[in-house]
Structure 1
Amino acid sequence: MNKKMAISKVYRTRILWMLYLVPLALSLSPPSAYSSSVSYTYDTKHRLANVVYSNGASLEFTYDETDNRLVKTSSEPTSSNYEDAEDGNIAGWEIYDNDPTGATIANVDDADRGSKVIELIGSATTNGYLLCNADGNYWNDTKFKVIEWSMKYSETFTVYIAVQTKDGFRYLYYTPTTTDNLGDGMYIHHGLGTDAMDGTWQTFRRDLEYDLKDAQPDNEIQAILGFLIEGSGRVDDIRTIE
């Protein structure tokens, strides 16, 4: 069994029930569920005036002369944060390919970035790592179709973004190459350039709908399911955005 078939078998087995049993999970959750920080603003009478979440969602309150709250207005999130490592743990991560054994996932301090990051160490691209939600469920993110992540890699890697599309399950995958191999089946390839593995921190933003249609023009993304990566290095700030 080749590597792509192995990934597909592992991932598809786990997502089948997720796609149908909890499709409303994201839409029913409050904005704070996807935000790593929140700030509050109070008016001169010490009443709550604004709540702003780090994902872009906000709440605004107004009051009458007797301090009764009149209006609460809200704005939708502009991003969903799935990993910034600042909680100090590795919740949501797992090693989906542990052959050979010995691969590790750690939350570490990164001097160059000045923050905590996720460190993945294994036997090059023979080991693979998966990020889902902290509860083990997949993202099922139907709000956004753009993904952004930061990484520091000095060796080759493959990033897979698992998505559900109109025409079925797909992997959009990215490597440090200068060519786009595309694909008309389950796997769709784009290159990030050879500088992507130059050992410095870099941030990549991909419009997944665009990348999908680049290869399969009549297909459409319905949900972003998760982030997978093969290769040893460091990653941070994995999120979907408008």
Structure 2
Amino acid sequence: MPELPEVEVTRQGISPYLIEQTVCELIIRNSSLRWPVPDVAQNIVGQRINNVRRRAKYLLIDTHAGITIVHLGMSGSLRILPRNTPAEKHDHIDLVLENGRMLRFNDPRRFGAWLWYELPEDAHPLLSKLGPEPLGANFTPQQLQAALKGKKKAIKLCLMDNHIVVGVGNIYANEALFAAGIHPQAEAGNIDIERLTLLVTEVKQILAHAIKQGGTTLKDFTNADGKPGYFAQKLHVYGRGGESCTQCGNLLSEIKLGQRTTVFCGLCQQR
């Protein structure tokens, strides 16, 4: 599943082509996505796009009439293409613009979403209970400590809980905990403020680096062959179970935690 950096780079890639453009047509070839695409999604037709934002892993296309909420799911992608580009398999939705281009939504597994909402976004059930953005000013060691108070759950599970902080998926949770020297099974409520300060710093740095990496290596969003994916970067633990730790040489351990693969160094990461 695309994680926050992939979604943010997608936002950066498509925004210049959408903002201040008027929507001429919304073509829905298949409305059976994770949730059925509602008929009111057509309300965006005739609207001018004011902004393209990201909240957690959701993309928000703003107009005066309402917001189109897009989620890439497990396999979705968005491309900017000439409006007459023939549709191929899994090209489910086209947002056609007055500038002769269109935003095309492709999703082979159809776990993505394309929704319409007219009330303030904070009232939408998908967005109303989300925690702070990890790269924002509201994600601080003090906020994290307050959110973890009394929790006996493993810190890795809490770090991936969107009610506590959004968008820190499995890859980046593994990497941030390693960088902060925190065992993924450590009881969240027992971690002191010093280690939480380091963890918050590492989460921000690792995600920012991944976004920067994607911004420089991802194919142009006007290139029909390029699709967002995990960025080529050096991962210290994720996907390296049984290999040597890059810091101490100890063999990395691999377990299942919350049904997700978790890799860590038993020497470098302490409970």
Bin of the TM-score, shorter chain as denominator length = under 0.3
Q: TM-score under structure 1 normalisation? A: 0.28
Q: Which of the pair has the greater relative contact order for Cα pairs under 8 Å at 6+ separation?
A: 1
Q: TM-score under structure 2 normalisation? A: 0.26
Higher strand share: 1
